[in-house]
Amino acid sequence: MKINELMQLIDREIPLSKADSWDNVGLLIGDKESAITTIMTTLDCTLEVVEEAVQQQCNTIICHHPLIFSGIKNITNQGYGAVIQQLIKNSINLIALHTNLDAHPQGVSAMIADKLDLINQDILMPQLSAMAKLQLFVPESHVMQVKAALSEAGAGQIGDYSDCFFQLEGTGQFKPDASAHPYTGEVGKLEIVDEIKLECVFEPRLRRQVEAALIASHPYEEPAYDIYEFLVKDMFGTGIKAELKQPVQIGNWLKEVKSKLKVDTVRLIGSPDQEIRTVGIIGGAGMDYVPAVRQSGVDVFLTGDIKYHEAHDLLMNGLPAVDIQHYAESVVKEGLKSLLESFDLDVPVISSTVDTNPFKAY
């Protein structure tokens, strides 16, 4: 498998378009035509991770946190520049899957939920996606022709299903004017025709090609059709809402959280005696989403990087929370390995053993 083939697969399964606008995902360093030997998954790409990749004869690293975020003015042998130099020197490709992986239904928050053995997992805040619906009227003789053309243009695709149409029999009528060139009927005479009403959906970005396919395949000089857009809940989104197998007091649960996430400390905001059942999780730093988390009705919120005044805000709003550290996202090393392997890659995938946590507890 080559890098460009891997990127096509990743873009289909973990779309780069799902990343936030400020993010930097995709192939950051590398050669699209290079053949992959082994893929290594990691939370952060550090010099130690690159050294591990070299030792493991691995030429492709997939990290969660992008090594390159903004414009680089120089690359020296210090800091991030030293990491970039070693990647290039050793012909190692670097791919970042950050907020697009966060948004995936089996992404980082779900990986944390899996580690905690939580059940009934669902997207905490589903994204809304724009869709378009087409309805048109076709003489019965040309239904299959028009369907085939629309499908070829990308219409009628719903998830993993293609050629999705609804049709209804009916009767249409029209009277061609003197300047018309009707497919059927005569100028000046009312024509009654058995027609089929077709309906299908498509992504709004495909509108131009869908309309072109409709007009090219339809027998009428001026086909009658309508297109309107609407919003639907996406399978992608932010965070995970899940449940414990049975209610517990938060204080009794935190030792388990520390152990399973392999973090040295967790910080509770709220009473340790409060009983909980539903859990909201946003891996990394999720405090920007607190209003939506509160509306979700979860009993406790797990995230990282909670600041002092933010903790007081949580107390004032009555939302118990646990700061599980940003490094709780290290579950991505094994989680992403499993996710990639589920895509039936024909190359081996390993996870880094390097601890990239910049904080040390004393």
Claim to verify: residue 117 and residue 249 sit in the same structural domain: yes
What is the pLDDT, as a whole number, of residue 246? Answer: 96
- Per-residue confidence band for 174, with pLDDT thresholds at 50, 70 and 90: confident
Higher pLDDT, 94 or 191: 94
CATH number at residue 319: 3.40.1390.30
Query: Is residue 40 a contact partner of residue 352, using CB atoms and an 8 Å limit?
Result: yes
What is the pLDDT, as a whole number, of residue 241? Answer: 98
Query: Is residue 204 a contact partner of residue 132, using CB atoms and an 8 Å limit?
Result: yes
Mean pLDDT of 28-53: 97
Q: How far apart are the first and last CA of the chain?
A: 45
Q: What is the distance, to the nearest Å, from the Cα of residue 278 to the centroid of all Cα atoms in its chain?
A: 23
What is the pLDDT, as a whole number, of residue 182? Answer: 85
Hey, what are 281's tokens? 């999780």
Query: 169 in a domain, yes or no?
Result: yes
Distance CA 175, CA 183 (A): 12
Contacts of 13 (CB under 8 A, 6+ apart): 343
Claim to verify: residue 72 and residue 87 sit in the same structural domain: yes
In this structure, is the dihedral angle defined by the CA atoms of residues 100, 263, 314 and 246, taken in order, positive or negative?
positive
**Which of 196, 213, 233 is a domain's end point?**
233
Hey, what are 270's tokens? 């709220």
Claim to verify: residue 303 and residue 268 sit in the same structural domain: yes
**Each residue's pLDDT tens digit, 59-75:** 999 999 999 987 778 88
Mean pLDDT of 55-61: 97
**Which of 233, 255, 281 is a domain's end point?**
233
Q: Which domain holds residue 166?
A: 127-233
What is the pLDDT, as a whole number, of residue 268? Answer: 98
What is the pLDDT, as a whole number, of residue 131? Answer: 94
Query: 254 in a domain, yes or no?
Result: yes
Mean pLDDT of 234-260: 96
Query: 180 in a domain, yes or no?
Result: yes
Contacts of 149 (CB under 8 A, 6+ apart): 213, 214, 216, 217
What is the pLDDT, as a whole number, of residue 285? Answer: 95
Distance CA 299, CA 242 (A): 10
Mean pLDDT of 254-269: 95
Claim to verify: residue 314 and residue 195 sit in the same structural domain: no
Residue 129 has pLDDT above 90, yes or no: no
Distance CA 270, CA 322 (A): 9
Residue 185 has pLDDT above 90, yes or no: no
Query: Is residue 155 a contact partner of residue 210, using CB atoms and an 8 Å limit?
Result: yes
Question: In 90-126, which ranges are continuous DSSP H helix?
Answer: 99-102, 108-115
Q: Which of 278, 343, 347 is nearest to 12 (CA)?
A: 343
Claim to verify: residue 149 and residue 178 sit in the same structural domain: yes
What is the pLDDT, as a whole number, of residue 72? Answer: 78
What is the pLDDT, as a whole number, of residue 172? Answer: 87
Claim to verify: residue 256 and residue 205 sit in the same structural domain: no
Distance CA 329, CA 111 (A): 8
Number of residues assigned to the chain: 362
Residue 178 has pLDDT above 90, yes or no: no
Which of helix, strand or coil describes residue 129? strand
Query: Is residue 133 a contact partner of residue 170, using CB atoms and an 8 Å limit?
Result: no
Mean pLDDT of 178-195: 87
Q: Cα–Cα–Cα angle for 343, 349, 354, nearest 5°? A: 135
* Number of domains, the chain: 3
Claim to verify: residue 112 and residue 156 sit in the same structural domain: no
Which of 50-54, 84-88, 178-182 has the weakest average pLDDT? 178-182
* Distances, alpha carbon 112 to alpha carbons 115, 242, 304, in Å: 5, 11, 12
On the 0-12 / 13-18 / 19+ scale of CB atoms within 10 A, 165 is middle
Residue 53 has pLDDT above 80, yes or no: yes
Contacts of 22 (CB under 8 A, 6+ apart): none
Claim to verify: residue 274 and residue 302 sit in the same structural domain: yes
- For the sheet containing 225-249, what is the strand order? 166-174, 191-202, 119-139, 225-249, 275-285, 300-304, 321-323, 267-269
Query: 362 in a domain, yes or no?
Result: no
Claim to verify: residue 264 and residue 121 sit in the same structural domain: yes
Residue 323 has pLDDT above 80, yes or no: yes
Distance CA 112, CA 116 (A): 6
What is the pLDDT, as a whole number, of residue 30? Answer: 96
Pairing outcome for strands 225-249 and 275-285: antiparallel
Q: Which of 325, 329, 336, 333 is nearest to 354 (CA)?
A: 333
Hey, what are 290's tokens? 């607190």
Mean pLDDT of 111-134: 95
Residue 234 has pLDDT above 90, yes or no: no
Which of helix, strand or coil describes residue 30? coil
* Phi, psi of 54, deg, nearest 5: -60, -45
Provide the whole-model pTM: 0.83
